[in-house]
Amino acid sequence: MTPITHPIADVFLLGFIVACSLVTAVFFLKYWRDARDPLFLAFAAFFGIQAIDTSAVLLLPYPNEGDVWLFLMRLLSVLWVLGAILWKNSAKL
C-alpha cells in the first residue's frame, strides 16, 4: 500500500474517528458504572480497542488496514462483544 497521500486530511479524519471512539467508550463506561452490566463493559472495551487500533494506523510507515496485528486486534474486540452478548442472552434462558 502507498504512504499517506493527504497527510493533513488523513490525520484529521483518523483523529476524529479516534476521538469519537473514545467518547463512545467513556459513554459505555459511565453506563457500566451505573448498571454493572458486563455488556456495557464489553462495548467500552471494544470502542477503546478500536481507538487504539485506529491510532496505530498512523504510526505505520505504510498505513495498511490489512496489517495482521491490526486485524487480530479488531477480531478479538469483536469476538469479545459477541461473547458478552451470548453470555447475556444465555443468562436469560
Chain centroid, CA 81 distance in Å: 11
2: in domain: no
Q: pLDDT tens for residues 40-77?
A: 999 999 999 999 999 998 887 777 666 888 899 999 99
CA–CA separation, 68 and 12 (whole Å): 24
Number of structural domains the chain divides into? 1
1: in domain: no
61: in domain: yes
- Of 61, 58, 47, 59, which Cα lies nearest the Cα of 19? 47
CA–CA separation, 4 and 29 (whole Å): 33
What's the whole-number average pLDDT of the chain?
A: 90
Asked whether the beta carbons of 51 and 21 are under 8 A apart, the reply is: yes
Q: pLDDT tens for residues 24-34?
A: 999 999 999 99
